[in-house]
Structure 1
Amino acid sequence: MRKTCAMVVFATYLPTVASAQETTDSAPMTEPNQAPLAFCAVEPVTFTSSQLMPEGHIKVQADRTEIIENTVALFSGHVDITSDTAQISASQAQVNGNGKDLIAKGNVTYQDAQIKVESDAVTLRSEEERLEMINTRYQLTGFVGQGAAKDIVLDTDTGISLKNVSFTTCPAGGEDWQIRASEISLEKGTVWGQAKHTRFYIADVPVFYLPYFAFPISNQRQTGLLFPELTSSRRTGVDYTQPFYWNIAPNYDMTISPRLMTLRGVQLNTEFRYLTDTSQGKAYIEYLPSDTDIAGNPNRYFYRLEHQGLIGDNWLLNVDFNGLSDNNYLVDLGSDYYSRADTHLYRSVGLSYYSEKLSINMQIKDFEVLGNTPDSYRAVPEIKMNYRTSFGRFLEFNVDSEVAHFDNTLETAPTATRFHIAPTLAVPFRSAWGELIAETTLFQTIYRQDNVEGTQLKEDVERTLGQARLYGALYFERDSSWFNDDLSMTLEPKVQYLYTSYEDQTAIGFYDSTPLLTDVEGLFRGQEFTGLDRISDNNQITLGATTRLLDKNNREQLVLSVGQIFYLEDNKVIAATKNQDRSALAAEVDWRFNQNWFFHTDVQVTTDTDKVDLSSTGIEYRKDDARFIQVNHRYVRDLSGETISQVGISASWPISENWQWVGRTYRDIERNRSVETYAGIQYESCCWAVRLVAQRSLNNRYNALGEQSIDDFDSGVSLQFIFKGIGSSGTRRSMLEDGMFGYRQPYSLN
């Protein structure tokens, strides 16, 4: 029979090492420019303190116990020793000096909040607060790190020391990479391990040697080198970036990334981030002195400033400011914030106020215009106010107002100051089976325009328009059965009558208004332009309907929407004139055939000619997150005088258990040429990965006149190594999102 002996008189103290979590107060900031660490299926060792003894006490359980004159205790057969800090199990144990020393032998396992160790023997010296273990295999608690050591010493004052030791985040028996060192120490109060005379092995092959090496032992933010990135392309040559992360404070950090490009020189990229109780933001700067690939060796730069912060209880400040040295910076050097196809860099400073009924938004909106692109108007400033209140259940009052001044970088371009107010009175009725809304709005706008000589614009323009809207919708639902599946089917018809009075607006310039593309929901918008420079006159009826199929979990399997506008009289606003009595028929379908097949399309068809004006179609087969094939097509009959017709194919598929392939290609059918071709292959094991990516895409470079090339292509190859647990994790998701277009799901089912 097993005996239990509670030997509280020993008052033995097992040494502990303060954990990294206890010594670092980390703010909730994410790791710099990298995905969260991802580990293999091996679960980290966990430790619970619920079974530990009170402080200063020790409990010993064993099959056999022998006590000699209350000074020596011998235990054998399934010995379990529990203190207030750790647990030890062994085949036999001896306690000397009334609990001052403990020696355990035979299949010894030691575990505390920091480490789990299996060894041949353990010696504990209580007065010195020192624990020694020989011939060990260890695993860090709460972290996928493990290895072997000839000797391990745990000391309360100094921490953990391991002699003739190995370390890896790979599982035992699958050490694809490994650090071997003469000594590894985990000092008390730090989140770094230190290794001396370090050899780094891939498989069993040593690849380099370091006399000293430091590595993280927690997932917290820590100062040090991040893993580099190595790529190559025709634009930059061999491209090597080595990020250095500086954990300045729990709520401040900086990433400094020197970038060596064999064709252009050395660029310095710096990102500073901050986080306070009421604000957050970043300052990002890229600087390339003397670009050696361009005549004259110009200095080139890019910067971005972001800030979001509360000012008081209801005020919010937002800053988004960008700038760069030249038109071709994004094309030549790339950016994490913009693509090579962008022609404008947005700049804004905004101050907003929010309350239950009142909202105020004040901002300055500017642009950095690239190339020979038509100059855009800047709102310097723009102030918008919205007030909303209810008078009982069936009466709502809303006021939208705006003051804005529009300026242009061209000195000869007209400028304007605009005052606008639009009070709306609405009578809403809403219930579970439908809704009915009747509302009327008065639009009052005043323009003060300058630099209008020689144009049809006028210096002073006042515009007063009235609008009436009646909107109704019904919601029907019934149980149904499709393909032996129990489903719920809904039918949601809706109708809207809209009347907007007419006034000649040709004396007003275009400052923030452009025609809108219309989808099914946009048919009920009642406005065909962004901004307020043009408000189209309307006398029209809009009909639409949506039907849904819902499974027993209320998840959408099919959504079909269709709608069309019927014009009761011709539109008189010049920019919105139509020569037919109805709009294009708009339709949209999202269909989940089953768990693997998804389909999406939206289309607009001119009904008097049966011609498609706009369409977008995508079909995807998805077996799981790693296996999918997607085909999509986009068509626009007339976009700024050009026809757009592009088809794309994206795929991701495992080649084997550890090999993953990702590919994507987009083709311009109108010009019969490729727009982008992208292919990546990745080997990913439990604890490391290597990725090879090749890409060819349109260059979009500007010439000296600011005109953008549409026939020049750029190609490149990138190679990246990832060692999990001591740097970024390798995932196929980043390969899917890379490139000009990236991967997007073609459906929006809930």
Structure 2
Amino acid sequence: MRFPLAFVISFMPATVLAQEATESVTPDQCISRSPATLSTSGGPDDAQDPSVRVRANRSEAISGDTARFEGNVQLSQGQRKIRTDSAEVSSIQGTFSAQGGLLYEDAAVVIEADSLTADMDDNQAELSQARYWLNGQQVRGEADNLVIQGEQSLKLNGATFTTCPDDNPDWLLEAEEIEINAEEEWGKVWHAKVRLFDVPVFYMPYMTVPVSDKRKSGFLYPSISTSSKNGFDFEIPYYFNIAPNLDATVTAQYMSSRGLFLKGETRYLQPWGEGQLNAEFMGSDRLVDDNPDRYMLHAEHAGKLNENWRFYGNYTTVSDDNYFNDFSSAINASTDNQLNREAEAAYFSRNWNAALKVQDVEVLGKDVRPFQVMPSLSVNYFSPSLYNRLDFRFNSELTRFEHRDSQHLTATRWHLEPTLILPYQTPAGSFTTELKLNQTFYAQQDPAGELKENISRTLPQLMMHGQINFERDLNVGGKGFMQTLEPQVQYLYIPYEDQSEIGLYDTALLQEDYYGLFRDRRFSGLDRISDANQLTLGLATRFLDDGLRERAQLAIGQIFFFDDPKVTLSGDQSNEERSSSALAADLRLQATERWFVRGGIQFDTSRGDTNKSEVLMDYRLSEEKLFQLSHRYVPNLGTDIEGNAIDINQAGLRATWPVMKNTTFVGNWYYDINLNRSIETYAGLQYESCCWAIRLAYHRHLDTNFEDQDFTTIDRRDDFDSGISLKFVLKGLGSSGPLGIGEMLDEGLFNYRKPYYLRN
């Protein structure tokens, strides 16, 4: 605080002093508020005015040097304001003093004190028996002696510090000395003692505390848990704030059944891209035979050099197949069974693009080793309105498939795909005709000699797709809606060609959901292009409210075959005769502002069997008040050790709800209907106030460890992991934010998914 020697004094009677502003309720009830704020009359430029303005009931000037003020004294200089009973200013000595009921305020802090003395030349002020509040922050406290140094610094002796707004705070830090720098937004504390509910819980000779959400290097809050698999589990992270665009976190985690687990993560953000590096290591895992070292390495980058060039890279490796099943990692979940490694450089222009890519996929828990893409070059050209309304597209790809096994099949594939498109579109509907030529060349190296060394495949393709849009106004329950009716039809013709001499390098069967019915391919990749002589019929209807927000959508469709498709993955000729595909339906519904439903089904009408179904239903009042019911069914995934067919037939319940003030319950329960057993249970209670939070949770879930063998069956495992976890946070001591209900919703094998997304 600084008052210049050349000051202006303006005296006004107390009757015209500005009234004190009373404390007001704000949306953020957690911000600590001072009991009063000061205001003075003046224009908008007063904040930059270096002059001192004084208002008081009485004033007295002594020898042109000292001015004394009595009764409701208010002084202001720019954003600094003081209210007191009496004050004295000496222009020669450059000092200022005030006594009795003193209230000081500036842009950073509000202070109540018994007295104040200020050295205007040194830009320093000292207050005794002070109570302080940092403006806009969750920080307040008391001090026997408080010194304001310059514009940004506070020094407190015999002080307390808390982020709790109440007069009797739940937690309180007591210290011999505290220094707070408002610019750095961090405080240094010496000889600190933390009290929780007035009980001392720990002592630190030196520590730093945040006074805002600004990042700073230091320890983050630890977490404690128990597990039937890992034993007692204690985890503590240390955060490195290296630069505004670079940080790192190192975490030490001790598991009593396994040993010491170390994790490190570095993140960067540059004009040319962003990415992260992760490394995790455990030496001599005591739960595994021979106590092996276990590790994970991960690197990821996405960026660009300019408006045309894009780059992406992703690499992950682990010591063993069961790594993600045994350790919690930010990279993969325990349900992930493969590692995708790829690097790509791409160039984009107005009418064409090109990309060079390498890719390697490692499947965990199985002896299956997919092909490696080493490399793949794609070049694509687009020419809208090539002639009148005729569009032209040319896609090409040259790919080399390698394998880790030197005695395995390898190949080079060159695919060319010129396409002519004739679109016709109106608001009432559209009709598009597409003529395509699929030309593929293979150069294969088969050590077994079962496949041709060189093979060419030429397949023309014709697709015609039409859609009509109908709409009408509709009144439901006194509310106005617009209903659409959108029938669509598609004809697809691809002649049959024997492809049994072509190896399978990147091809698999695609799902036949409603939107997949209108694809022109049955298989992913290019190694199998199915013959087709088929008609697809689909019908969708939507309901939009008066704000044109989609409230419901129902779609149903099916493919009808004029000729049975012959091309399959297992062989060249299909012996299965079927006149139609599965009937596919999709439902999205927001019945009210709180009820959301999404479901899908694929039903085989010829056999009367369900190929796949899933339904999710939410009742949502807010982010912390929701119930979700779910069911999913997928038949014939494999066989168990006894040769019986294995289906996924699971029901789930997920809920989060406040049970009392500041306390929320989150629970998950998933049940296997076929095996009559629970496969996952999670229950957690979280209490969160303005200044601290605690979470206690219990989990029990199926252990998904892989067996280190070639799987020919699906094992009905009976191995479960269960345990308890505890997280505790004092806001303002290493954390300024909540624990988060969303984090609890994502706990476990099955993450929370919203069943419906509104399209506004």
- Asked whether the two chains share a fold, i.e. TM above 0.5, the reply is yes
Q: Is the 8 A contact 1:62 1:78 kept in 2?
A: yes
TM superposition shift of 1:44: 6.3
Show the counterpart of 1:42.
Answer: 30
Give distance in 1, aligned partners of 2:181 and 2:478: 64
Show the counterpart of 2:21.
Answer: none
- Deviation string 1:207-257 (CA, Å, 9 cap, x unpaired) is 111222211223122111111121221222111111111122232222111
- Whichever residue aligns with residue 548 of structure 2, its letter is N
Give distance in 2, aligned partners of 1:543 and 1:698: 42
TM superposition shift of 1:326: 1.3
TM superposition shift of 1:329: 1.6
Give distance in 2, aligned partners of 1:115 and 1:720: 32
Show the counterpart of 2:403.
Answer: 408
TM superposition shift of 1:664: 0.6
TM superposition shift of 1:154: 0.6
Q: Of 667, 677, 683, which aligns to 2:681?
A: 677
Give distance in 2, aligned partners of 1:747 and 1:444: 40
Q: Of 298, 309, 325, which aligns to 1:304?
A: 298
TM superposition shift of 1:9: 3.2
Show the counterpart of 1:171.
Answer: 165
- Whichever residue aligns with residue 226 of structure 2, its letter is S
82 and 431 in structure 1: CA distance in 2 versus 1, 3 angstrom threshold = farther
Show the counterpart of 1:719.
Answer: 726
Show the counterpart of 1:30.
Answer: none
Provide the alpha-carbon RMSD of the alignment: 2.5
Q: Is the 8 A contact 2:138 2:211 kept in 1?
A: no
Show the counterpart of 1:649.
Answer: 653
159 and 688 in structure 1: CA distance in 2 versus 1, 3 angstrom threshold = same
TM-score, structure 1 normalization:
0.91
Show the counterpart of 2:20.
Answer: none
Show the counterpart of 1:548.
Answer: 542
- Whichever residue aligns with residue 484 of structure 1, its letter is G
Q: Does 1:734 align with 2:729?
A: no
TM superposition shift of 1:638: 3.1
91 and 538 in structure 1: CA distance in 2 versus 1, 3 angstrom threshold = farther
468 and 45 in structure 1: CA distance in 2 versus 1, 3 angstrom threshold = farther
Q: Does 1:700 align with 2:704?
A: yes
296 and 572 in structure 1: CA distance in 2 versus 1, 3 angstrom threshold = closer
Q: Does 1:9 align with 2:18?
A: no
Q: Is the 8 A contact 2:127 2:145 kept in 1?
A: yes
TM superposition shift of 1:533: 0.7
Q: Is the 8 A contact 1:680 1:693 kept in 2?
A: yes
Q: Is the 8 A contact 2:5 2:92 kept in 1?
A: no
- Whichever residue aligns with residue 649 of structure 1, its letter is L
Which residues of 2 match residues 342-741 of structure 1 at below 5 A?
342-391=336-385, 394-451=389-446, 453-455=448-450, 457-575=451-569, 577=574, 579-640=577-638, 642-705=646-709, 710-728=717-735, 729-741=738-750
- Whichever residue aligns with residue 697 of structure 1, its letter is H
- Deviation string 1:349-392 (CA, Å, 9 cap, x unpaired) is 11111122212221111123322342211111122222112126
Q: Of 201, 206, 222, which aligns to 1:212?
A: 206
TM superposition shift of 1:62: 4.0
Q: After the TM superposition, which of the residue ranges 371-380 and 571-580 deviates more from structure 2?
A: 571-580
Show the counterpart of 1:15.
Answer: none
Give distance in 1, aligned partners of 2:233 and 2:83: 54
- Deviation string 1:453-488 (CA, Å, 9 cap, x unpaired) is 253x22111111111111122222222111111222
Give distance in 2, aligned partners of 1:561 and 1:157: 65
SS of the equivalent of 1:511 reads coil
- Deviation string 1:131-172 (CA, Å, 9 cap, x unpaired) is 112222211123211112222101129931112211111113
TM superposition shift of 1:565: 1.2
SS of the equivalent of 1:323 reads strand
Give distance in 2, aligned partners of 1:357 and 1:640: 46
TM superposition shift of 1:203: 1.1
Give distance in 1, aligned partners of 2:391 and 2:338: 39
Give distance in 2, aligned partners of 1:159 and 1:458: 80
471 and 107 in structure 1: CA distance in 2 versus 1, 3 angstrom threshold = farther
79 and 466 in structure 1: CA distance in 2 versus 1, 3 angstrom threshold = farther
TM superposition shift of 1:673: 2.1
Q: Is the 8 A contact 2:152 2:183 kept in 1?
A: no
SS of the equivalent of 2:660 reads coil
Show the counterpart of 1:747.
Answer: 756
SS of the equivalent of 1:574 reads coil
SS of the equivalent of 2:324 reads helix
470 and 85 in structure 1: CA distance in 2 versus 1, 3 angstrom threshold = same
Show the counterpart of 1:241.
Answer: 235
Give distance in 1, aligned partners of 2:291 and 2:276: 29
TM superposition shift of 1:491: 1.7
TM superposition shift of 1:499: 1.3
Show the counterpart of 1:123.
Answer: 117
533 and 222 in structure 1: CA distance in 2 versus 1, 3 angstrom threshold = same
627 and 157 in structure 1: CA distance in 2 versus 1, 3 angstrom threshold = closer
Q: Is the 8 A contact 1:286 1:303 kept in 2?
A: yes
340 and 158 in structure 1: CA distance in 2 versus 1, 3 angstrom threshold = closer
171 and 189 in structure 1: CA distance in 2 versus 1, 3 angstrom threshold = closer
640 and 536 in structure 1: CA distance in 2 versus 1, 3 angstrom threshold = farther
- Deviation string 1:488-507 (CA, Å, 9 cap, x unpaired) is 22222222111112211111
TM superposition shift of 1:328: 1.8
Give distance in 1, aligned partners of 2:62 and 2:540: 87
Which residues of 2 match residues 267-278 of structure 1 at below 5 A?
267-278=261-272
Q: Is the 8 A contact 1:440 1:469 kept in 2?
A: yes
Give distance in 2, aligned partners of 1:131 and 1:469: 83
Show the counterpart of 2:247.
Answer: 253
Show the counterpart of 1:143.
Answer: 137
Q: Is the 8 A contact 1:101 1:124 kept in 2?
A: yes
Give distance in 1, aligned partners of 2:48 and 2:152: 24
TM superposition shift of 1:200: 0.3
Give distance in 1, aligned partners of 2:8 and 2:472: 73
Q: Does 1:316 align with 2:314?
A: no
TM superposition shift of 1:65: 4.4
Give distance in 2, aligned partners of 1:178 and 1:51: 40
SS of the equivalent of 2:745 reads helix
- Deviation string 1:406-444 (CA, Å, 9 cap, x unpaired) is 122233431111100101111112333322211111110
285 and 439 in structure 1: CA distance in 2 versus 1, 3 angstrom threshold = same
Unaligned runs of at least 5 residues, structure 1: 1-5, 13-38
TM superposition shift of 1:721: 0.7
Give distance in 1, aligned partners of 2:583 and 2:636: 16
- Deviation string 1:17-37 (CA, Å, 9 cap, x unpaired) is xxxxxxxxxxxxxxxxxxxxx
TM superposition shift of 1:297: 2.0
TM superposition shift of 1:191: 3.7
Q: Is the 8 A contact 2:88 2:98 kept in 1?
A: yes
- Whichever residue aligns with residue 447 of structure 1, its letter is Y
Which residues of 2 match residues 40-189 of structure 1 at below 5 A?
41-43=29-31, 52-54=46-48, 56-97=50-91, 100-156=94-150, 159-173=153-167, 175-187=169-181
TM superposition shift of 1:63: 4.9
Give distance in 2, aligned partners of 1:117 and 1:436: 74
Q: Is the 8 A contact 1:390 1:397 kept in 2?
A: yes
Give distance in 2, aligned partners of 1:703 and 1:606: 34
Q: Is the 8 A contact 2:66 2:89 kept in 1?
A: yes
Give distance in 2, aligned partners of 1:298 and 1:11: 79
TM superposition shift of 1:188: 7.3
Q: After the TM superposition, which of the residue ranges 695-704 and 197-206 deviates more from structure 2?
A: 695-704
Show the counterpart of 1:227.
Answer: 221
Give distance in 1, aligned partners of 2:363 and 2:564: 37
Unaligned runs of at least 5 residues, structure 2: 10-26, 640-645
SS of the equivalent of 1:331 reads helix
